[in-house]
Structure 1
Amino acid sequence: MSEDSVHTYVAGQRWLSETELEQGLGLLTQVEGRMLTVLFPATGEIRHYASQQAPLARYRLLPDDRGQHADGWFFRVTEVENRGGILHYIGQREDTQETTSLPEAQLAAQVATQHPLTRILAGKTDRLDMYRLRQQAQRHLQRWQQSSVAGLLGARAQLLPHQLYIAHTVADRYQPRVLLADEVGLGKTIEAGLILQRRLLSGRSQRVAIIVPDSLCHQWLIELKRRFALAFSLFDQERCEQTVEEHDNVFSAEQLVVVPQSLLQSERWQTQLAAADFDLLIVDEAHRIAPKTAHFAQLQQLCTAIPSVLLLTATPEQAGLDGHFARLQLLDPDRFHSLEQFIAEQQSYQQLTPLAEVLARVGADKLLDRLLDHYGTGRLMFRNSRAHVGGFPERQCHPVALDADDGEAFATKASWLKQLLSAHKAEKFILICHSSAQVQELYDFLRIQHGIHAAVFHEGMSLLERDRAAEFFASPEDGCPILLCSEIGSEGRNFQFAHHLVLFDLPTHPDLLEQRIGRLDRLGQAETVQIHVPYLTDSRDAYLYQWYEAMQAFRAPNAVGAMLYDEFHEQLQAFLTGDYHDELGFAEVLDATAERAEQLREQIKQGRDRLQELNAYRPQQADAILAAIAADERQQQLTEFMHDFWNRFGLDYDEFNAESGWLRPTEHMRIQLPGLPDDGLTVTFSRDYALANEQVEFLSWDHPQVQHALELLSTDSFGSTSVALIQNRALPAGAWFIELSYTSQLTTAPELVAHEFYPQQAIRILLDSQGRDLTARVQAAAFDKQLQFVDKKQARALLQQLRQNIQQHIHTAWQPAEAQQQVLLDQAEQLLEQRMASAQQRMRELKQRNPAVRQSEIDALQARHQQLRAALAKPMLQLDSVRIVVNSPA
């Protein structure tokens, strides 16, 4: 593509319109006197121009260029002949390898109008600052793609080592199938979100379904958006019925969906969910789906159909060891096929604990790795304890024995509650009881009889009503002093800004009691958790309180509660129902419970749970992840880049304070940013500020708005062409240079994550007007500092003079660009061979010691290795941007 030094217009020539580049390649159909008629076949438009002032640029292919015939096939030019002003291209067809010859009139009308060469020859240029912004984006994108913690940078959450270790370990696996089973309050939801975000951003996952209890659907949607800037869609019964007419499979309508557990009870929707080609399934509160039920069988079908599965449960053995085994079977039925064998294996692992403790203490990580490799569930289950992680508050229990007749039980306890609130007017309380009816009765008592405002939270309310109640309670300015919850108040909600918990009644299962207390006793709780337990003497709750106290359930997290329940619930039942009042017999139950609890805690301390802890959290490796995040956050660089981006693309940023500001669109906005409402939003680049101000959007390199900016400046035409002046007295006036930026990348399936080895590379070539390569002699940064802005009119005039030479220089630059690319490819190949060989060797050795390693994981590593090796042999090199620099000494 070039322009003849002297215009000779001949019908049949191909020209580009400088003012309407989007019209494609024009065909000169008529030359009559001083008037030209040009047809643009791509749009069917016809334009008439005066020949002396026609805004047209001649289109010409050079030898080695790739052209396209109007019929769609491509050819490689070997020779160009000018026959009476019409260019004839001789070359080789790519499909048949035959030699072909065609006049330029037969070229396809669709040309790459956004290609920098096309834009340069048509006189389309961008401002110098936009060109610089594009170069910055290329560098930032490359660094982000190479980051070992990409996808872990953007969570609005504390950077907790145990969560980051699990997320980093699981997210990078081929089709991970794991049980996240940290104790209550350790942040399994955050772990799942981190894994999810890293897999989505890396390309390892594209379609995700999250199954949660119905009462937690809305909270999951909010948490995904608020903490991870992930927009999921809720597919409940109503949404499915609305969508069924538009899609054969309703779940094909969205990539990211949240599904209530109750929907699985419908065979129709469950079948469609299993057939919807999701590649990642997350199941919250997995212990609530009991084995040997139709609901469990439906979940089993989903786990079989979807390759990657995360099961979340804080109580992995709540339904007994057989229930725990059944959930492990969901993940790997081939490995876990015999409950008896599984139990025997678990018992045998206790003898490994002393050695593992020593290796952990002296920091012998490699030896510890090999030892823990023998542990059967080590790759499938991650379970941290509070004692191992640390940083949790203390608990204090305040039992209150009340005397009253049976008919006065509620009034007595309610009156006590009113006195408690009156004694702590400046503090917030959460009350949990069994039924929604009792919640309403308490609400009426406090509001009507005593004028005390309360928020209510129970299963009879809609999700929106529950969220409003939680918000009303949380508000420090005009909120209420107490939140009254039915049992669902102990599920999934975190209220650690309060530290008073009232257990108006007591549940019969220790794990449910632990879930209640865990709403306040969590990471982030700054105060001692005060647990208030009112009970009537000689009542059901009086017996339960003493039994729970015997196992120390109020003092610290109760890991042995489920096992104690299995052993003692039948003996306890007689006292709870009033069928047995032998206090001596009850004292024996309490003594036996206390003794057995101590035995079980000692077994856990000495046995397999300690191995789980060592496997689920390696401090040294977690510290390395934290250090990588600190290095790659680059908050100042991100702030400067996004401010420049907003300025160039028509968005206003009004600073509120040093940490935040109001970002809003204007009438001059060039593009739409994801998640930016018409009235704008408050944003911050500070994680600490975002944690303290949840209404503020936290921007990181992982955030969709930042990713959108990087993608826009890497794939669209913004900043791809520019003209600048240099004032250098040592150079002759009019001397000019062409700076070319190429991108090199691999074209592979997203799940191969090729950018870990070969991110999108930027290759720079600098030529002078004679075509000499100055790239190595003139550094980019030093050269850029000397350049000055050129207005569009002057830039167009300069380009008109240099069109023919520009195309020839771009042609010349291709060879040194390929040479630079080959150096990068050789480096990437070395890295690939080194890492993949090590990974495959590690997995082969691991499989010899641990049957939980699937052969499919090893096969996938080998396949990925071969596919990436093949991709490195066929890189895609593209011209990304062009800058013309002309010397104009003052």
Structure 2
Amino acid sequence: MNELQDFAIGQRWLSDTESELGLGVLVDVDERTISILFPKSDETRVYARANAPLSRILFKQGDWFTDQEGQEWQVENAENVHGVMRYNVVCPNGEQRKSMNETRLGANIQLARPLDRLLASQIESKEWYDLRIEALLMQSRMAISPLRGLLGPRVGLIPHQLYIAHEVGRRLAPRVLLADEVGLGKTIEAGLIIHQQLQTGRSERILILVPDSLQYQWMIEMRRRFNLQFSLFDLTRTASIKEHDEDTNPFLTEQCIIASIDLLLDHDDLKQQALDAGFDLLVIDEAHHLTWHEDPETGEGVGNDRYDLVAEFAAQTPGVLLLTATPEQLGVDSHFARLRLLDPQRFDTLDHFLDEEAQYSQTAQIAEVLMSDEPLTEQHQEILVELLGHEVEQDGEARYRAINELLDRHGTGRILFRNTREAISGFPGRDCIPAALPAPAHWPLTGKLREQMWFEETQLDGAWMEHDARLPWLMDILRKDLKHKKVLLIARSGPVVESLETALRIHGGIRTAMFHEGMSLLERDQAAAYFAEEGYGAQILLCSEIGSEGRNFQFASDLILFDLPANPDVLEQRIGRLDRIGQQNRIQIHVPYFVGTAQERMFRWYNEALNIFSNISPTAQTLQENHIVALKDCLLNDPSQEGQGEAFEALLEQVNAERMALEDELQAGRDRLLEFNSCRPKVAARIVKALEDQDEQNPLPDFMTRFLAATNIDFEEQSDGTLIVRPSDQMQVEGLLLDEEGMTATFSREQAQQREDAQYITLEHPFTNSIFEMIHTQSFGNTSVAVLKSAAIPQGSLMMEMWFRVEVIAPKVLNLAASLPQQLIRVLLNENGQDLSAKINSAMLHPYVHRLDMSNARQVVKLRREVIEERYKQAEQLAKAQVQSFSETARKRYNDRLQQEIDRLTYLKEHNPSIREDELERLKEQQAQGVQLLEQLSMVPDSIRVMVAMK
């Protein structure tokens, strides 16, 4: 096998990263992309031509392969016919010869068979062999782990986030509304679900549509927390792709894409191309901007442009995630309409929805009783009989089972997830510390609002600082009150941040770091790491507005708002960089403003009307939008003018009253049953415990350092426990995902959350996966000859250990490997053919096996070739005998597991109409397909070790 750069239709290729797809055939090629059909797994992949992760499959004289009918052939010679190989082959008994194009190759390809390599004296080191077996065992355990998809992300073990990810991520084509309050981690929940969907193959093509201002936040979050490489599609990128080939659909050139929803709204051609490209999972952030109402005259639904666009995509995309912190903020009709996007059959009319909501209220009330210590009365039991069909005992276990029954049947329980700060708890709170300062003499009190609020942005050279009282105030507070604290400062623009940083560092002698849009991602990482460093790290991190997006700094608790944004959501984002889960102290929000200016009025609006500094305000954005005209008038006009001051005071009083009324309404409508369904504590606790155990027993640190040392990859262990890993000229392996600049790596979850510049190396990290994939597809360590030091075995006699992989080629989404009783078969034979596999396991052998120098290893193989071949053939027969029973066990496991879920959903569908019929049908199709494919298990020789007994 080797690689060719020229592509031609009919060529056979193997995926470097998804070998389980089987052997693919090239079916389409253009200037930028190639399309590979993998017939055995019924999958088609589109790859960028320049960097497709593929290996061309070629055979030479003497090689064996299997055709599509399962017949074995040996290559006599080969020729290249217009880029496609034609093989002249002979069957094993030599009675039949024929000419065969490579298109006739079977999908099960075996490469680098260990016996062939051993007999050809291609012998690997003992350490490489050990590493290979360890990697295969780790992969095998991961394939059946219920934690699959949850191990890799750089996230804290937050119960409600992990519960939602576990509940939603394992579904086929999940369609849900994630509606946790601000600061509870909706983006993390979505990322965990996306990561699980990709890891398990349930989704492969993903489109994330967000407001323009959140594109980079999402891209950074996906990359830093989840190691997911999403491509950012804007007008420049799509135009560049079209410039190279106007017939290319840009949305087919990448698998995972982030785009601004405005891009598709403003360009119908791009919207149509995105629709034509098709995706498995659609993610919409800020879904409360999707508004809809029912026309009272016609009864027809009318949505805004965003709603209509998302409705088009949702109608043809199997999986949909909608994210909003305020599901009912813009009215119950818009809330209904967003649920309608997820399941139009289930949520058919607004009247029907309102009727059901009234019934859910009774369910939620009885759930409140079950969750409390309140005794169940006769009236309660009547309601429970009506809802569940039976009475409930008073003991805690019975009440808990009843709650779970109600949750399963609760109308929006499977579709809507909403956790609140009140339900989650653990937020220390926040305080506002205003600083009223005299305005500079030249500060504008009339004119454009931009100049009245942010006059410093008109003087990009920093001249504004000469008379601005905020600068001496800032230096004074950093030297005194905040001297020993970490401080985050956010201002609107990069130039203002740069001017402040220069003044603080040069004139104030204060350790500073900057974070703004003019810096590269690496520079931002370094700045964030310098700020996070204790002792000699930066005292203050100065951020432009992007500092309120994509990064969290819970280790700091002092926030300086050098200016105020015009939007309450943006202000909440700023505060949310510190006021998040994991914060240990009350947030101190320092707000300097100039007395008598629009700045003061904006501060009072946020503080007195919206109360946004003290608490999360779910109503702030709506209230500001409702009163934006009056607010702008008050901000623009000098309150000293006649009537202006009174108008502003009246506005503050009116909006404050509206806010409190709305908040009371939201609290009264709080659905405790929904909150409980969004985080079932016992289930969440089990997930957290399992991840904690995995972290504690992590096999990777030892494996990784040994692998790096054995393959001549440069690494340095740092005093804080991190590793600096760099490629070297002497590297002995290829194909690993390691940048030329190298990386800083950590195996600690806690350290990874503090050090965003360090890669969090887990069993699901791309670098680890690239090692596993290299081992899986290459001959690394698959042969070994070693010394077995034991007085119990006749000296000079052989013992042979052989490993075989049990594989099933199938669509990744079926996850058939998880049903196999074993993915590896180990056979241990002595020289006389006695099977010792059950008596002596690999761990028992390990202390007695020692290195044998290469010269002697080759002599052993040369002198004992016949014995080695005989024992290998015996081992193959013993392994094949196990495969049939594996197939029967796997079929039963897979069938039973899916049947259990089908039965559960079928039963629930009688009580809970949110169970979709298409979900049940897809499960039944998967069940039938999986059972059929599990009849066709393959046994692939993986590795062989010959051990010579010596004292």
Which residue is equivalent to 1:840? 902
How far apart are residue 160 of structure 1 and its match? 1.0
**d(CA) in 2 for partners of 1:644, 1:555:** 52
- The 1:498–1:451 alpha-carbon spacing in structure 2 relative to 1, beyond 3 Å, is farther
Percent of aligned pairs with the same amino acid: 34
Question: Is 1:779 equivalent to 2:777 in the alignment?
Answer: no
Q: Decide which moves more: 423-432 or 461-470.
A: 461-470
Q: Contact 2:209–2:261 (CA<8 Å) still a contact in 1?
A: yes
2:286 partner letter: E
Q: 1:813 aligns with which of 875, 886, 906?
A: 875
Determine if the alignment matches structure 1 residue 703 to structure 2 residue 760. no
AA aligned to 1:378 is G
Matches of 1:229 and 1:678, distance apart in 2: 18
**Does residue 371 of the first structure (1) align with residue 406 of the second (2)?**
yes
Query: Secondary structure of the residue that 2:361 maps to in structure 1?
Result: helix
SS of 1:424 mapped into structure 2: helix
Whichever residue aligns with residue 67 of structure 1, its letter is E
Among candidates 41, 48, 73, match of residue 68 of structure 1: 73
TM-score, length-normalised on structure 1?
Answer: 0.79
- Indicate if the aligned counterparts of 1:317 and 1:562 stay in contact, CA closer than 8 A: no
What is the CA-CA distance between 1:705 and the residue it aligns to? 1.3
CA contact (8 A) 2:490 2:574 kept: yes
Quote the Cα distance in structure 1 between the aligned partners of 2:255 and 2:273.
14
Aligned residue for 1:380?
415
Shift of 1:593: 5.8
Partner Cα separation in structure 2 for residue 607 and residue 71 of structure 1? 78
Comparing 174-183 with 674-683, greater Cα deviation is found at: 674-683
- Residue 708 (structure 1) shift: 1.8
Match runs of 1:446-845 below 5 Å: 471=527, 475=531, 483=542, 494=552, 496=554, 497=556, 499-502=558-561, 504-505=563-564, 507=566, 514-532=572-590, 534=593, 542=601, 545=604, 549=608, 552-561=611-620, 581=643, 597-598=659-660, 600-633=662-695, 636-657=698-719, 659-672=721-734, 674-758=736-820, 761-845=823-907
Q: Does 1:421 align with 2:474?
A: yes
**1:340-359 matched pairs, under 5 angstroms:** 340-359=351-370
Secondary structure at 2:95's aligned position in 1? strand
Q: CA distance change for structure 1 residues 734 and 256 in 2, over 3 Å: closer, same or farther?
A: same
Q: Would you say 1:167 and 2:172 are equivalent positions?
A: no
Amino acid at match of 2:411: G
Mapping of 1:24-423 within 5 angstroms?
67-70=72-75, 101-102=95-96, 114-244=112-242, 245-246=244-245, 248-264=248-264, 265-288=266-289, 292-361=303-372, 362=396, 364-398=399-433, 407-408=444-445, 417-418=470-471, 420-423=473-476
Q: CA deviation at 1:531?
A: 3.5
Q: Distance in 2 between matches of 1:124 and 1:456?
A: 54
Does structure 2 retain, via aligned residues, the 8 Å contact 1:473–1:481?
no
How many residues matched? 806
Using the alignment, how far apart are the partners of 2:668 and 2:414 within structure 1?
20
Kept in 1: contact 2:497–2:542 (CA 8 A): no
Partner of 1:4: none
The separation in 2 between residues aligned to 1:391 and 1:506, in whole angstroms, is 28
Partners in 2 of 1:615 and 1:163 — Cα distance? 12
| Structure 2 Cα separation of the partners of residues 729 and 397 of structure 1 | 77
Instruction: Tell whether the 8 Å contact from 1:178 to 1:331 is kept in structure 2 after alignment.
Output: yes
Cα distance change on mapping 1:631 and 1:755 into 2, 3 Å: farther
Maintained 8 Å contact 1:145/1:759: no
Find the aligned partners of 1:113 and 1:442 in 2 and give their Cα distance. 58
- Distance in 1 (alpha carbons) for counterparts of 2:454 and 2:115: 85
Relative to structure 2, which stretch is displaced further, 861-870 or 296-305?
296-305
Structure 2: distance between partners of 1:473 and 1:725 = 48
Residue aligning to 1:18: none
Q: How far apart in 1 are the matches of 2:279 and 2:64?
A: 47
Secondary structure of the structure 2 residue equivalent to 1:137 = helix
One-letter amino acid of the counterpart of residue 282, structure 2: L
Between stretches 606-615 and 200-209, larger displacement belongs to 606-615
Give the Cα separation in 1 of the matches to 2:519 and 2:332. Answer: 34
Q: Offset of 1:855 from its aligned partner?
A: 0.7
Closer, same or farther: CA 66–649 of 1 in aligned 2, 3 Å: farther
Instruction: Call closer, same or farther: CA 1:390–1:503 in 2, change over 3 Å.
Output: farther
Pair 710,113 (structure 1): closer, same or farther in 2 beyond 3 Å: closer
Amino acid at match of 1:272: Q
| Deviations, residues 783-842 of structure 1 (Å, cap 9, x unaligned) | 343333222332222223333343333333333213333444444344334432221122
Contact 1:131–1:720 (8 Å) recurs in 2:
yes
Residue 616 of structure 1 and its aligned partner are, at CA, apart by: 1.2
Contact 2:346 2:914 (8 Å CA) reproduced: yes
**TM-fit CA distance, 1:315:** 3.0
| Counterparts of 1:44 and 1:555, CA distance in 2 | 74
User: Which stretch shifts more, 284-293 or 766-775?
Assistant: 284-293
2:830 partner letter: D
Contact 2:218–2:550 (8 Å) recurs in 1: no
Quick one: which amino acid aligns to residue 583 of structure 2? Q
Alpha-carbon separation, structure 1, partners of 2:437 and 2:789: 91
TM-score between the two structures when normalised by the length of structure 2? 0.74
* Matched AA of 1:425: L
Equivalent pair of 1:142/1:761 in contact (CA under 8 Å): yes
Alpha-carbon separation, structure 1, partners of 2:844 and 2:116: 28
> Kindly tell me: are residues 677 and 833 of structure 1, through their superposed partners in 2, closer, same or farther at Cα, counting changes over 3 Å?
closer
Q: In 2, Cα distance between the equivalents of 1:469 and 1:647? A: 28
Shift in alpha-carbon separation, 1:138–1:546, aligned structure 2, 3 A? closer
Q: Which of the two has higher C-alpha Rg?
A: 1
Structure 1: 5+ residue runs without aligned partners? 1-41, 46-56, 74-86, 92-99
Deviations 1:526-564, CA, capped at 9 Å, x for gaps: 432234554756979649836853664433222344676
8 Å CA contact retained: 2:557, 2:588? no
More moved, 828-837 vs 637-646: 828-837
What amino acid maps onto 2:174 in structure 1? P
Match in the other structure for 2:917: 855
SS class of match (1:101):
coil
Deviations 1:618-657 (A, max 9, x none): 2211111011112223555211111221122221222112
CA contact (8 A) 1:745 1:875 kept: yes
Give the letter aligned to residue 335 of structure 1. R
Q: Distance in 1 between matches of 2:942 and 2:359?
A: 61
Moved more, 412-421 or 229-238: 412-421
The one-letter amino acid paired with 2:277 is A
- The alpha carbon displacement at 1:288 in A equals 4.0
Rounded Cα–Cα distance in structure 1 between residues aligned with 2:745 and 2:238:
35
3-state SS, counterpart of residue 157 of structure 1? coil
Change (3 A) 1:420 1:370: farther
Q: Tell me, yes or no, if structure 1 residue 886 matches structure 2 residue 948.
A: yes
Contact 2:211–2:262 (8 Å) recurs in 1: yes
Given that residues 177 and 308 in structure 1 are in contact (C-alpha distance below 8 angstroms), is that contact kept between their aligned partners in structure 2? yes
